[in-house]
Amino acid sequence: MATDPFQLFDDWFADARASEPNDPEAMALATAGADGQPHVRMVLLKGRGPEGFVFYTNEQSAKGDQLRENGRAALLFHWKSLRRQVRIEGAVEHVPGEEADAYFATRGRDSRLGAWASDQSRPLDERGTFERRFDEVKARFEGQDVPRPPHWGGYRVVPDRIEFWSDRPHRLHERRLFTREDGGWSEGLLYP
């Protein structure tokens, strides 16, 4: 079998970009804090390669807290139009600041302002409070660039397992599992 899992991912991701009607880069991110309670939410893939799979967020959010407490995560891509999914598990590391700065600069201005205004995942008394904070931040940065907030950054999931699942008739699916071993990858199959 000996396929490079990152090349296979790139091939499947290209297919998803061509056929998936909404957000082919959407992925479920599963984390668990020190208490072991699992949490899952959707985030967007913003970088990929042999180093891992990258997403960005407020590091003081619930997911940031959980990743600080337990530096492992799982990702799931589900491309319904292709009847495929990819499961990824591994350790999590911070993206270097300059890489986070470069990505942050590509975001729309309101998204950059929102990163400053939001205490992501924290209780909010009413929507108006957030809207006032957004307006304050907008006025603060009027006529100037919006830099990346110090509490906002990127994470890279460095996989040690990548599973490629393909739908087959009668639930006789195909499951290919890549496992990192001694700096390389081994491949095997799983029963459906």
Residue-wise pLDDT tens digits, 45-82: 999 999 999 999 999 999 999 999 999 999 999 999 99
CA 38 to each of CA 17, 33, 53, 62, 78: distance values in angstroms, whole numbers, following the listed order:
29, 7, 20, 12, 19
Interior CA angle at 57 toward 79 and 132, to 5°?
115
Q: What is the pLDDT of residues 111-142, one digit of tens each?
A: 999 999 999 999 999 999 999 999 999 999 99
Gap between the Cα atoms of 101 and 120, Å rounded? 19
Q: Out of 171, 175, 176, 180, which one is annotated catalytic?
A: 171
pLDDT tier at 2, thresholds 50, 70, 90: low
Q: Is the pTM of this model over 0.85?
A: yes
Residue 161 annotated as catalytic: no
**Residue 45, CB half-sphere, CA atoms under 13 Å: how many?**
24
Domains and CATH numbers, the chain: 5-190 (2.30.110.10)
Give yes or no for a contact between 67 and 73, defined as CB atoms under 8 angstroms apart.
yes
Question: Do residues 57 and 64 lie in contact, with contact meaning Cβ atoms separated by under 8 Å?
Answer: yes
| CA 26/CA 85 separation, integer angstroms | 12
Give the burial class of 90: count Cβ atoms within 10 A of its Cβ; 0-12 exposed, 13-18 middle, 19 or more buried: buried
Concatenated DSSP letters of 70-131: S-EEEEEEEETTTTEEEEEEEEEEEPPHHHHHHHHHHS-HHHHHHHHH--TTS--S-HHHHH
